[in-house]
Amino acid sequence: MKFLLFILLGFTLLGKSPEIYAWDSTAAKYMPLQIGNQWVYTSSLISFSGSGTSIDKYIITGTQIINGKLYYNLTGIHVLISGFYSCGSRLFSANTQLRIDSLTMNLFRTGVCNNNAEGLVDSLAAKFRDSSLTCFNLNSTKTCFNDSSDFYIFNTFFKSKRFTTVDINGGNDQTFLEGIGLAKYNASITNYTCYQILKGCIINGIIYGDTSMIIGINQTGSEVPEKFELSQNFPNPFNPLTHFGFRVADFGLVSLTIYNALGKEIKILVNQQLQPGTYQAEWDASAFPSGVYYYRIAIQSDKLESEKFTETKKMVLIK
């Protein structure tokens, strides 16, 4: 009788609904979806129409139910470092929603393939050499899990899954790390090349790497200035470090550039969009000879009646 009960219990467990056992917690770790999680990337894009580099941050800010399915809302912040263009990945864009299907562990994103319809990004539960049809370049394209080598980042080796997609217009690959999420993305299409590498993230409250957004400058005040202004560098003369203070009266694209005595551009200190406030930048002239130098600020903003605000000042390096 006991033996019969054991057999019946076994059949009962085996016959349980697959939904109860489908969630794969290990697979889910390859893209940890939780409010507050964020990822910061260094991005570069080269295209026929121009190029650019940027720092891009993506933050999970909340959840919502769409067609009966739970999605995580993603908000993007972009800081342009150089050029006028930035790129995104198949996974991330400025404002989108992500979800992991509890039965298949497939990762879906809205706003791909058919405008606002969801599209498959990758299968987090995929085994080596598995393939699936995902959304790339607005088409449904075969994607293959083809590399599981350990990935070194943040002074640690992480388990990884690398997915590669190829179609007639080009291809891309993206690498997910267990416990981290998307670590690297690159794409080469007919008219552009895009590359993103993770520089830092916050996952479940733990900070990895560098999650800062401001490059080469510090914001020293958040009060909105009455006007745009560039201050005299200090100290001046200097050797080899000097600092530049400037005020931004309205959101805009700010560039701060160093020129030698002949007017040749030798260093770009700042080239990014900034909120109103007071800022300070630093220049280390250790690699440059003594002499007269000039620094110039240019700000493009909707508040300006002219095309942009510009101002140039002189400084002296004495070694």
Q: Per residue in 166-202, pLDDT tens? A: 877 778 889 999 999 999 999 888 788 899 999 999 9
Q: 194 - beta bridge partners?
A: 45, 187
Is 194 found in the same domain as 284? no
How much is the average pLDDT of 3-24?
A: 43
Domain boundary among 165, 182, 209: 209
Residue 303 sits in a domain of what CATH number? Answer: 2.60.40.2550
Q: How many domains does the chain have?
A: 2
In a domain, 143, yes or no: yes
In a domain, 19, yes or no: no
Tokens matching residue 288: 């440059």
pLDDT of 26: 92
Cα gap 314→261, rounded to integer Å: 9
How much is the average pLDDT of 200-228?
A: 83
* Domain limits for position 288: 217-317
Band (135; pLDDT cuts 50, 70, 90): low
C-alpha distances in Å from residue 72, one per residue of 28, 34, 36, 174? 14, 8, 10, 20
The beta strand positions in 211-306, using DSSP E, are 217-221, 229-230, 241-248, 252-260, 265-274, 277-284, 291-301
pLDDT of 87: 78
Is 175 found in the same domain as 31? yes
How much is the average pLDDT of 227-232?
A: 94
Is 271 found in the same domain as 201? no
pLDDT at 4 over 50: no
Band (72; pLDDT cuts 50, 70, 90): very high
Domain boundary among 209, 234, 269: 209
In a domain, 15, yes or no: no
In a domain, 284, yes or no: yes
pLDDT at 11 over 50: no
In a domain, 44, yes or no: yes
54 versus 63: the higher-pLDDT residue is 63
Q: Per residue in 246-274, pLDDT tens? A: 999 988 888 999 999 999 999 888 888 78
Is 91 found in the same domain as 203? yes
C-alpha distances in Å from residue 29, one per residue of 63, 209, 211? 18, 18, 20
pLDDT at 77 over 70: yes
How much is the average pLDDT of 68-72?
A: 94
pLDDT of 179: 97
pLDDT at 162 over 90: yes
Is 240 found in the same domain as 126? no
Q: Per residue in 115-126, pLDDT tens? A: 557 888 888 999
139 versus 251: the higher-pLDDT residue is 251
Cα gap 184→175, rounded to integer Å: 5
Residue in 189, 281, 291, 276 with CA at minimum distance from that of residue 237:
291
Is 131 found in the same domain as 174? yes
Helix (H, G, I), strand (E, B) or coil at 26: helix
pTM (two decimals): 0.64
Is 111 found in the same domain as 166? yes
Average pLDDT for the chain: 83
pLDDT at 230 over 80: yes
Domain boundary among 156, 190, 209: 209
In a domain, 21, yes or no: no
pLDDT at 48 over 60: yes
Measured over the CA atoms of residue 21, residue 25, residue 28 and residue 32, the dihedral's sign is positive
In a domain, 104, yes or no: yes
Band (47; pLDDT cuts 50, 70, 90): confident
Is 231 found in the same domain as 261? yes
Place of tokens 């552009």: 192
Band (113; pLDDT cuts 50, 70, 90): low
CA-based radius of gyration for the chain: 25
Q: Per residue in 267-298, pLDDT tens? A: 888 888 788 889 989 888 888 999 999 999 99
Is 254 found in the same domain as 118? no
Is 251 found in the same domain as 121? no
Residues in Cβ contact with 99 at an 8 Å cutoff, skipping those fewer than 6 apart: 33, 69, 70, 71, 72, 107, 108, 118
Residue 67 sits in a domain of what CATH number? Answer: 2.40.360
Residue in 190, 148, 172, 151 with CA at minimum distance from that of residue 27:
148
pLDDT of 142: 79
In a domain, 150, yes or no: yes
How much is the average pLDDT of 226-230?
A: 93
Q: CA angle, 30 as apex, 29 and 32 as ends, to 5°? A: 55
Is 177 found in the same domain as 257? no
Is 227 found in the same domain as 184? no
The beta strand positions in 111-251, using DSSP E, are 118-123, 131-136, 139-147, 151-153, 156-158, 160-167, 170-177, 181-189, 192-203, 206-209, 217-221, 229-230, 241-248
Helix (H, G, I), strand (E, B) or coil at 161: strand
